[in-house]
Copies of this chain bind each other. A is one copy, B any other.
Amino acid sequence: MIENTPLVRKLGAFVALSAPELAVLASLHKRRRTFVAGRDLVRQGQSDQAAYILANGWACSYKLLEDGRRQIVDFQIPGDFLGLRSILLHVSDHSIEPVTDIEVTEILAADLLTAFAQTPRLATAVLWAASRDEAMVVEHLVDIGRRDAAERMAHFLLELGGRLTLVGLATKAGYACPLTQYLLADALGLSSVHVNRVLRQLREAGMVTFREGFVAFDDYDKLAVFAKFDPTYMDPRGPLLL
């Protein structure tokens, strides 16, 4: 019997996976590996890369411009794929860096493609997961393109809270968050200086406090209104495939 991992919980919300399907999914998990914070596990431009499933810890995927500017595309939390696109596109268009020390299980490209051929419902489930990730990137795009710094920060902290709640790592009260202000800056397209000021604003407005690795929602509803946070793109609307 396969354990109740975050990944299974996530995919299960979309496709009711049968026992044989779960077995195939389990068989994908190869070596368990650990990586230390800060040392890239996927590098932009590498080809024929393996993919991973994050079991423990936080990571971030980012892109670098050659002059050193960097944009963090997304953070990954337990249950998320790392580098799935690297497999499908043959080459990694981004880098992935562990934010904390992490534990992952490796997945080989060939195994994954074989599994898709044998268990089409699994392929559909993964397509769903990829779509959900894309929806988050899209929301992130709206953040950076059309929300000002404070709204952006507020929205980001709420979204993260929502994702963590799905895997049991957050409540409406708050969550533990290992991100530094530098990481937030690179994710939100701001300078770290400005991140600091914005966090102060939100704290002084009594909406949210981010301090010493913990995000505390002081007034969740007020924050949600302020950020124009609409969670429909996040929560599963019940299984699509039975």
Question: What residues make up the interface of A, taking CB atoms closer than 8 Å to B?
Answer: 45, 47, 63, 65-67, 69-71, 73, 84-85, 88-91, 93-94, 113, 116-121, 123-124, 126-128, 130-135, 137-142, 144-147, 188-189, 228, 232-233, 237-238, 240-241
Q: Which residue in chain B gives the minimum CB-CB distance to A240? A: B90
Give the dominant DSSP class at A's interface.
helix
Instruction: Decide: A89 near B237, CB < 8 A? Known: A65-B228, A116-B124, A134-B130.
Output: yes
Of B90, B127, B133, which contacts A123 at CB under 8 A? B127
Q: Which residue in chain B gives the minimum CB-CB distance to A129? A: B88
How far, in whole Å, are A45 and B231 apart by their CA atoms in the complex?
Answer: 11
- Cβ distance A62 to chain B, nearest Cβ, rounded Å: 9
Residues of chain B contacted by A139 (CB below 8 angstroms): 63, 93
- Cβ distance A46 to chain B, nearest Cβ, rounded Å: 11
